[in-house]
Each structure stands twice: as structure tokens, then as C-alpha cells.
Structure 1
Amino acid sequence: MTDKRSEKNKKMKEAEEFYKKGLIFGQESDADGAIECWLKTVELNPQHFEGWYNLGNVYNIGRGDIDKAFECWNKALELKPDDIDVLYNMGNTYREHKKFDQAIECYKKVVELNPEDHEGWNNMANAYHGKGETAKAIESWKKALEIKPDKYETWYNLGLLYRELREFDLAIECCQKILEKYPNSYEVKRLLDTINKEKENPKN
């Protein structure tokens, strides 16, 4: 029994050493070196959450291999089903590859775990918008604004969507909300000018 425990402790220690080496490779942007180390980490200790999580990240960013990335992230979620960082990375990657339903499921889990997570609502709105579900996008952005009423990006995205929908008064209201906080925003002033012109000269 003592020998088994000693062998297990040895493996755990080796796994941690490989994990730390992998971090150094990661800092040096050496994806191959990091992957080699972290594969060894999870081989020696399959319960090593950070090993699986970082493997997913490096497969995604360093290699562009999203299948391997999701395989590793799912392993990480088996160990920590409520880890928001993993859910965010999965949701953002799904969204980048236009897999909006899967992205939405990840963001839903984020806001279930923390209903006050502004970025969860904001990202979910972006995914709904990408999917073409404008009503749900608006609802999610409004939820985000309940949490952070002064968030520039959220008001701006909402304003753009209202403009797309030709809801010009609501789009103008969004721009004005931003200008209350950021009166010198050239980007918003330009958008507001465009919306006003479109409102005055609606296309048939």
C-alpha cells in the first residue's frame, strides 16, 4: 500500500513538473513544447484540471485544432463542470466558428452560475445576433445593461442592431446614452449622424 501511494505521489510530482515546464513553453509561444509537456501532465495525472484546460487553449490558439481543443476542454469540464473560464473559451470558440447554438448553451451555463456576469449576457447577445434571433439578442443586451448601465460596447451593439431593424429612435437613444458618459466619442457621433440621415431619408 505504501509503495502504491509512493508511486502515485511520484507521478503527481512529475505531472506538476511537466505542467510548469509547459507554462514556460507557453510564455515563449512554443505551442509544440507546451503540448508535449501538458500531454505528459495529463498522462501522469488524468485529474489535472489545469493541464486539460491549457491543452485546450494551446490546441485552439497555437495549432488552430478546435476538435482537439474541445476534447481537452470537455475533459476539464468533467473535472470542474462549473468552471466559467472553460465555458467562456468554449463559447467564444463556438461563436467564432459560427456554431451559435453551442455557443449560446455555454453562455447560458455561465449566467446560470453567475446571473450578474455582464460578459456572459453580452456574449450570449452576440451569439443570438449572429444566429439572427434579434429579439433574444436585444433581451440579452438589456440584461447586460441592467448589470453595467454605462458599458459602452453594449449600448453601441444595441444601437447598431436597432439601426439594422430601422428602429431609429431606439438607435438614437442608445447613442445618446453613450455620449452622456463619453461625450467625445467620434465613433458614436459618426454613427448618430448616420442614423439621423437614414431617419430623415428612409429607403423605400
Structure 2
Amino acid sequence: MSMKMVDDENEQKKKILEAEEFYQKGLVYGKESDADGAIECWQKTVDLNPNHFEGWYNLGNVYDIGKGDLERAIECWNKALELKPDDVDVLHNMGNAYREHKDYDKAIESYKKIVGLNSEDPKGWNNMANAYRGKSEIDQAIECWKKALEIKPDKYETWYNLGITYKELGEFDLAIDCCQKIFERYPNSYEVKRLLNAINEEKESA
């Protein structure tokens, strides 16, 4: 091995070590909710080591949560996906960010990738349902919630969302069934008692 190759290899190892140091510093800033400090450190991480998956992933997270910059967040998450195309955490975060910004079609695209990788991912189905609901495509939303409940039948949020949706559709008996499913596991839920009362009132006046 030539001296130049040895020098290049040593330089690369040095960059990788420096990248990891900046990554760890970024984690400290992240815990302190210092978005600017975290961004500066993690940007240095990926500049020094473009193959640092966690650097790109967390950089995307802080641009999204800390700065509300969807465009930059997506750029970083896409870089992370180039390194790990099947990473569901990245896909979930992308989908959720798109949904928060009301870009429901792109959110659904992300969630479809998740359930394509693992059809037994209840969070993927539940989030896809919420995105369809955002688009007012209620039939698709209901089907996704049902799929989520087949996988995880004790999920409070899913039963609750389904109950509200049935109530809005005037399907009062189905809405009541959803509330009863929640009561089986959470008998003291004030939120569900209030929903059930509202359903019964609307049912009586219908």
C-alpha cells in the first residue's frame, strides 16, 4: 500500500471520528431543545461522513420539529433513506410531517410504503386512516382503522377516532360499539363517557 493510500485512509478515519464527536454533541443540544446547536453539529456530522444515517435522520427531525422547515426535513430524511431505504422510523416521520402540513397525498404515500414493508404495522394503518380522514375520504379511512384494529385491537386512539367518525356519519350504533370496546379496557375514561353521551343525544334527536 502506498503512502498516499495510507494517508487517505487515516484522513478518512479521522473524519469519521470527528463526525461521531459532532453527532454526540448534537444529541446534547437536542436534549436541551437547542435546535440551532443541534443543526450545526449534525450538519458537520454529515459533511464529514455523508454515510452517517443517524446524522441525516436526526437532522431531518430537528428541521421538522425544531424549525418547522418541512422542505429541509424531507431533504435530510431522503438522504437517510438512501442509506436505509426500508427504515420505517424515517417513513413514519415523513408521513407525519406531510400530514401536519396537510399534504395528505404524500403522507399516504409514505404510510403505504410502511405497510408495504410490514402489513402488520398498526401505526402505519392508523396514520394512513388519519390522512384519508384529512382528505375527507372517509370510506378509505374506516378501512384503514379496521385494519389497524385487526392487528392491535386494544388501541384506544383508533377505536376513539372510528367512534367519532361513525357518529359524524350518523352510524350511531356502530359509534356506540366503538365506545364499548374502549370501556372494556379503559372503563373510567371520561373522554369516552362524554363521547358516548353525545352519541346518545344525537341518536335520540335523529
The TM tier, using the shorter chain, reads: over 0.9
1:76 to 77, 80, 88: 80
Q: Which amino acid is the alignment partner of residue 44 of structure 2?
A: K
Q: Distance in 2 between matches of 1:90 and 1:105?
A: 10
Q: Which amino acid is the alignment partner of residue 135 of structure 2?
A: K
Secondary structure at the counterpart of residue 153 of structure 2: coil
2:199 to 173, 178, 195: 195
Count of residues in Structure 1 that have an aligned counterpart in Structure 2? 202
Q: Distance in 1 between matches of 2:32 and 2:186?
A: 38
Deviation at 1:180, TM superposition (A): 2.0
Deviation at 1:143, TM superposition (A): 0.5
> Are 1:43 and 2:47 matched, yes or no?
yes
Matches within 5 A, 1:121-140: 121-140=125-144
- TM-score, scaled relative to structure 2: 0.94
> Which residue in 2 is equivalent to 1:144?
148
Unaligned runs of 5+ in 2: none
> Which residue in 1 is equivalent to 2:68?
64
- TM-score, scaled relative to structure 1: 0.95
RMSD over aligned Cα, in angstroms? Answer: 1.1
Q: Which amino acid is the alignment partner of residue 171 of structure 1?
A: A
Unaligned runs of 5+ in 1: none
Q: Distance in 2 between matches of 1:53 and 1:110?
A: 17
Q: Distance in 1 between matches of 2:187 and 2:43?
A: 51
> Which residue in 2 is equivalent to 1:94?
98
> Which residue in 1 is equivalent to 2:159?
155
Q: Distance in 1 between matches of 2:155 and 2:190?
A: 17
> Are 1:9 and 2:26 matched, yes or no?
no
